[in-house]
Structures are given as structure tokens and as C-alpha cells.
Amino acid sequence: MSKLVPAIRSGDVLMPALGFGTWQLENGTAVPLVEKALAVGYRHIDTAQIYGNERDVGAGIRNSGVKRDEIFLTTKVWIDKFHDGDLQRSAEKSLEKLGVDHVDLLLLHWPKPEAPLAETLKALNEVQSRGLTRAIGLSNFPSALLEEAAKLSEAPIANDQVEYHPYLSIKTLKAKADALGVSITAWSPLAQGKVAQDPVLVEIGRAHGKTPGQVTLRWIIQQGIIAIPRTKNPARIEENFDILDFALSDDEMTRIHALARPDGRLGDWLDKAYAWDAE
Ligand SMILES: NC(=O)c1ccc[n+]([C@@H]2O[C@H](COP(=O)([O-])OP(=O)(O)OC[C@H]3O[C@@H](n4cnc5c(N)ncnc54)[C@H](OP(=O)(O)O)[C@@H]3O)[C@@H](O)[C@H]2O)c1
């Protein structure tokens, strides 16, 4: 079986289906971990202004020796920079910290009603037309808000990055995203480590000689969804990448989908002006 990471169509660009997440990798810790991830074969790195590690991520990329144009690099604009002018300046600052002349994807981190979405998207479009990012997208936008953003944006919305793991269904959002040509990235794909103890995932893993984490990541990318697991453990960087040599059966996929539950959401920081899709 191919060991190549699948590429996922995202608006006008292709994104590697497996990336390395860097939330909470602070105070220099991201430097060797990003370097390790690139050595293992990851070609997609996820950071954000609010993670406070853009300089470290940039250093890790440079230390790795992997060419910049072989890496898909995402960062996210924090919610206090959504007004025209602030957004553009924050994107310039991100590039300066990362030490790159462009990112591949620039996301709005969480929807916020304070700045009109039309104003924020116009600013985001301007950043893209200036070549500071190859693609633009969203994060934590439920389906109705994704549709509204897609209508307001001149350039295609490439991606919506949302919480997704076996304990949560995103059926409604995935259908809407597919119809709009928007890819989905799963954040907290391992349910922040909770999948490791799940008896169903343990059992399925045993049949394939894989860990519950590997089964979960395979389940995500087998749906055409991008996964960005995070770990500070170098051995797990390898473990989480080693998911390209096996496939889950339809029955196994269904069993994992059945783990979704109403209280499965881990990060409920959505502004009260909006609502999540029911499923
Ligand atoms: N857009 C957003 O609003 C948003 C929100 C949250 C996260 N994110 C992005 O998504 C990335 C991933 O999400 P996340 O960091 O919340 O959670 P995650 O990747 O689901 O889980 C990370 C946790 O799982 C553990 N872990 C890693 N690999 C494992 C494995 N194979 N088996 C068992 N446990 C494992 C890690 O512990 P060790 O470090 O000890 O291995 C860590 O505690 C973030 O880093 C960030 O880039 C985006």
C-alpha cells in the first residue's frame, strides 16, 4: 500500500491530509518537535498567532533543511485582529515571526460578531491578493456561517478547521463543506489523548497491529478529512505518521462513527451569538 500522504483538494490548493499540530508547544519546545516531524515525513504544520510559537515553528522549519515550498504551513488570525487594517498588520507580523514570505493557509481562528464578517473577509482577501498567503479559510465556523462566509468572500474559502474525533459528529458541516468545495481539518483529532483508552478503538487496532491513536487518525483521513495531531513525544510523532499502510473496513468505519455522543465536544468556546450544528 502507498506510503504517500493523500492530498486533499481545498479551494484552489492541495493540503496534505496529515499535519503536525503545535498548540501548547511553548517556550521553545516547538523547535525540535517541528524539526522531528519534518524529518519523519510530515509536510504540513499548523500554528496560530495565539499559540505564541510562530517564531519557534519557523526555526524548526529552517533547522529541518526541508525546502519551504515542500511544506504546507498554516497560521490563524486571532479574534482581536478582525478589523480592516488590524488583520493585514497581524498577517505581516506572523510572516515576520515565522521568517517566511508567505504562508499556505491563513484562517480566522474563531467566528466573532464584533467585526462584520464582510469587513474581515475583505481584509483576508486583500492579504491573499498581496501574496502573503496562498489560500484563506476559517476555523470553528458552523455550516450556516461557513455558507455566509463563502458567499461574502471573493476568493474561495479553502478550509474550515473544527474539532473532530470519534466522540463528535460533524455530518451537517461536512455535507455543506463538500457542496462548497471546502476541505475540513480536524483539530483535537485524538480527543486530546482520550482515544487511547477506548475499548472499541483498542479492539480494532489489535486486528491491524495499530494503536487506538493510529486507528483514529486513519478513520479521519479515510473520510477525506485532514488530521493535525499534536504530541511532545518524539516516538508518538512517528506513531501518528505511521497510518498509511493499512485501511479500515466499512464495518470498522461505522463502528467508530457510532462512538459519537451528545456531550463529546471538548472545546466549546463558540461566541454565544452563534450555534453549533446539531450533528
Ligand atoms: N482551530 C482551533 O481552534 C484549534 C483548537 C485546538 C487545537 N487546534 C490544533 O489542533 C492540534 C491538535 O489538537 P490538540 O492538540 O488539542 O489535541 P490532540 O492532537 O487530539 O491530542 C493531543 C494530546 O494527545 C496526546 N497524544 C498524542 N499522540 C498520541 C497517541 N498516539 N496516543 C495517545 N495519546 C496521544 C498528547 O500527549 P503527549 O504530548 O504526551 O504525547 C496530547 O496530550 C493542535 O495542536 C492545534 O494545532 C486547533
Cα of 62 vs centre of ligand 1, distance in Å, is 23
Report how far ligand 1's centroid is from the alpha carbon of 30 (Å).
13
Q: Within a domain: residue 122?
A: yes
For residue range 26-65, list pLDDT tens digits in order.
999 999 999 999 999 999 999 999 999 999 999 999 999 9
pLDDT band at 3 (very low <50, low <70, confident <90, very high): confident
**Structural element, H or E, at residue 96:** helix 86-98
- On whether residue 133 sits in a domain, the answer given is yes
Residue 276 lies in a domain: no
Whether 82 has a pLDDT exceeding 70, the answer reads: yes
Q: How many residues does the chain have?
A: 279
Q: Give the domain range for residue 35.
A: 7-257
Q: CA dist 22 to 3, 48, 184, Å? A: 24, 8, 18
Indicate the pLDDT class of residue 174, thresholds 50, 70 and 90: very high
Q: What angle do CA 191, 188, 60 make, to 5 degrees?
A: 135
Cα dihedral 243, 247, 253, 259, rounded to 10, equals -30
Does 267 map to a domain? no
How does residue 165 score in pLDDT terms, banded at 50, 70 and 90? very high
- pLDDT per residue over 216-273, tens digit each? 999 999 999 999 999 999 999 999 999 999 999 999 999 999 999 999 999 989 999 9
Which residue's C-alpha comes closest to atom 24 of ligand 1? 193
Residue 141 lies in a domain: yes
Which of 129, 85, 83 minimizes the C-alpha distance to 108?
83
Bridge partners for 48 per DSSP: none
Q: For residue range 176-221, what is the model confidence (pLDDT) as tens digits? A: 999 999 999 999 999 999 999 999 999 999 999 999 999 999 999 9
pLDDT in tens, 93-109: 999 999 999 999 999 99
Whether 183 lines ligand 1, by a CB cut-off of 6 Å, is no
C-alpha cell at 213: 491513536
51 is an active site residue: yes
Residue located nearest, by CA, to atom 19 of ligand 1: 229
Please work out whether the CB of residue 231 comes within 6 Å of at least one atom of ligand 1. Answer: yes
Q: What is the side-by-side order of every strand in the sheet holding 44-46?
A: 20-21, 44-46, 72-77, 103-108, 133-139, 157-163, 183-187, 226-227
Q: Which atom of ligand 1 is nearest to the CA of 217?
A: 31
User: Where do the H-state alpha helices sit in 114-271?
Assistant: 117-129, 143-152, 171-180, 199-208, 212-221, 234-241, 250-257
CA distances from 251 to 165, 173, 179 (A): 18, 23, 26
* Contact (CB, 8 A) for 220 and 166: no
Under a CB-based contact definition with an 8 Å cutoff, are residues 49 and 76 in contact?
A: yes
Distance from the CA of 24 to the center of ligand 1, in angstroms? 9
Q: How far apart are the first and last CA of the chain?
A: 33
Contacts of 157 (CB under 8 A, 6+ apart): 11, 136, 137, 138, 146, 149, 150, 180, 182
**pLDDT greater than 70 at residue 2:** no
Helix or strand (DSSP H, E) at 97: helix 86-98
Nearest alpha carbon to residue 78 among 58, 44, 106:
106
Average pLDDT of span 82-87: 98
3-class SS letters over 48-92: CHHHCCHHHHHHHHHHHCCCHHHCEEEEEECHHHCCCCHHHHHHH
CATH of the domain at 58: 3.20.20.100
Residue 135 in domain: yes
The reply to whether 223 falls in a domain is yes
Number of compact structural domains in the chain: 1
On whether residue 35 sits in a domain, the answer given is yes
Q: What is the reported pLDDT for 238?
A: 98
